[in-house]
Chain A
Amino acid sequence: MLKFWEQFKVGNMTAQAKPFDIYGTQLNSRLLIGSALYPSPKVMQDSIQASGAQVVTLSLSRQNPQKQGGQTGQSGGESFWQIIQSLGVHLLPNTAGCHSVKEAVTMAQMSREIFQTDWIKLELVGDDFNLQPDPIDLVKATEILLNDGFKVLPYCTDDLVIARHLVELGCKVIMPWGSPIGTGKGLLNPYALQAIRDRFPEITLIVDSGIGAPSHAIQAMEMGIDGILLNTAVAHANQPQMMARAFKGAIEAGRLAYEAGLMVERQQASASTPTLDSPFWHHTQY
């Protein structure tokens, strides 16, 4: 029975040591990483390798053969597509920039044909300032894509009811934001994320967007979040490759801590060293 001062926060007494699973594919790394915003293709390649990530996000755009460093670039350096293929990672195409159900579904279908995967990170922009997903169209597009055989990883806000709709449609993975894309603000609403975690213990939960520091990732993992998807936090670090290693360690540490079970937080101090029979021990009067 918990003492009076122990009841205000319960430690991690029900941690699940479940493997990291994306629609039946089990992965060792709980870090998913983006391929955008790096200062160079070489830095991108080195950072992805340093992160240990087994899943990399990418997107589609109009081909421009004259563009240096692009897919069809003849700049003399390796093209983006060649580098991605050489990494031997699982590809997670996104529908970035789509503002309607039709746009997102079309982009998903093209991604499946090009990248030969039915995984799709479903992004449906609802607001051009904070880039939050349109929750209503997100649910509509998710239903269409799931029925078309896609394995949808929906990027959503931290709304519990939207998450419930996505799970009820058949999503096995949910990707709520920590904070708006690229802001680096970390987890703006841990309470809401914890609510989603607690309500759907069997769903693979990946915090996607807004992660800025390894401490944000640790916070999420200690809550029982299954994985982290990030891009800007590594790509825009002063030393991306080193930051990728930092995130790798942070996510591993956070998951270990969750499975180990955190101590119970207390209001009253409790001495670590036994005081009975210590040289200057005396009975304290309250």
Chain B
Amino acid sequence: MNIQLNGQAVILTDSTDPISLQQALDHWQQQSLVRPPFAVMLNGDFTPKSTYVDIQLKENDRVEILGAIQGG
């Protein structure tokens, strides 16, 4: 499954089995691509943490992982 992660194309899995957003995030955390605390946008919309388990990712979904940075 091809996914856009923070604007870059990544191959999330070679399997055709469905994968939840939570599973994808766990996978990316193991690869140190994601680190708490973070928030998620899926296809341009804020996606609350409580929904990660229920959302099934689809081909070419755009996932944005946001974290804290300096700001004025």
CB neighbours of A187 from chain B (8 A) = none
Inter-subunit contact B39/A58 (CB<8 Å): no
Inter-subunit contact B71/A58 (CB<8 Å): yes
- At the interface, yes or no: A84 with Cβ under 8 Å from chain B? yes
Bitwise, B22-66 to A at CB < 8 A (1) or not (0) is: 000000000011110111110011101100000000000000111
Q: With A63-B6, A65-B35 given, is the CB distance from A71 to B71 under 8 Å?
A: no
User: With A and B bound together, what is the CA distance between A115 and B38 in angstroms?
Assistant: 9
User: With A and B bound together, what is the CA distance between A275 and B48 in angstroms?
Assistant: 76
Q: Within the complex, which residue of B32, B37, B72 is in contact with A114, where a contact is CB–CB below 8 Å?
A: B37
Bitwise, A53-66 to B at CB < 8 A (1) or not (0) is: 00001111111110
User: With A and B bound together, what is the CA distance between A66 and B46 in angstroms?
Assistant: 24
Inter-subunit contact B70/A35 (CB<8 Å): yes
CB neighbours of B66 from chain A (8 A) = 60-63, 110, 114
User: What residue in chain A is nearest B44 (Cβ atoms)?
Assistant: A106
Inter-subunit contact B68/A58 (CB<8 Å): yes
User: What residue in chain A is nearest B45 (Cβ atoms)?
Assistant: A106
Size bracket of the A interface: 35 or more
Interface residues of A: mostly helix, strand, loop or mixed?
mixed
Q: Specify which of B34, B37, B66 lies most central, judged by the most chain A CB atoms within 10 Å of its CB.
A: B66
- At the interface, yes or no: A241 with Cβ under 8 Å from chain B? no
User: With A and B bound together, what is the CA distance between A115 and B67 in angstroms?
Assistant: 10
Inter-subunit contact A80/B39 (CB<8 Å): no
Q: Within the complex, which residue of B44, B46, B72 is in contact with A37, where a contact is CB–CB below 8 Å?
A: B72
Inter-subunit contact A94/B35 (CB<8 Å): no
The A37-75 residues at the B interface (CB cut-off 8 A) are 37-38, 44, 57-65, 70-72, 74
Inter-subunit contact A65/B71 (CB<8 Å): no
Q: Within the complex, which residue of B6, B35, B48, B64 is in contact with A113, where a contact is CB–CB below 8 Å?
A: B48
CB neighbours of B69 from chain A (8 A) = 58-61, 70-71, 80
CB neighbours of A115 from chain B (8 A) = 37, 68
Q: Specify which of B6, B34, B46 lies most central, judged by the most chain A CB atoms within 10 Å of its CB.
A: B46
User: With A and B bound together, what is the CA distance between A209 and B7 in angstroms?
Assistant: 31
Q: With A106-B46, A113-B49, A114-B39 given, is the CB distance from A58 to B33 under 8 Å?
A: no
**Shortest distance between the CB of B43 and any CB in chain A (Å):** 12
Q: Within the complex, which residue of A34, A60, A72, A181 is in contact with B39, where a contact is CB–CB below 8 Å?
A: A60
Inter-subunit contact B70/A36 (CB<8 Å): yes
CB neighbours of A70 from chain B (8 A) = 67, 69
- At the interface, yes or no: A232 with Cβ under 8 Å from chain B? yes
Inter-subunit contact A80/B68 (CB<8 Å): yes
Inter-subunit contact A57/B71 (CB<8 Å): yes
CB neighbours of B38 from chain A (8 A) = 63, 114
Q: With A109-B46, A110-B46 given, is the CB distance from A96 to B67 under 8 Å?
A: no
Q: Specify which of B64, B66, B69, B72 lies most central, judged by the most chain A CB atoms within 10 Å of its CB.
A: B72
Extra A-B contacts (4), CB below 8 Å, given A60-B68, A72-B35 = A34-B70, A71-B67, A71-B68, A106-B45
6 CB < 8 A contacts A-B: A44-B70, A61-B67, A80-B70, A81-B37, A81-B67, A109-B46
- Lowest 7 A-B CB distances belong to which pairs? A59-B71, A34-B72, A231-B72, A110-B39, A72-B35, A36-B70, A63-B67
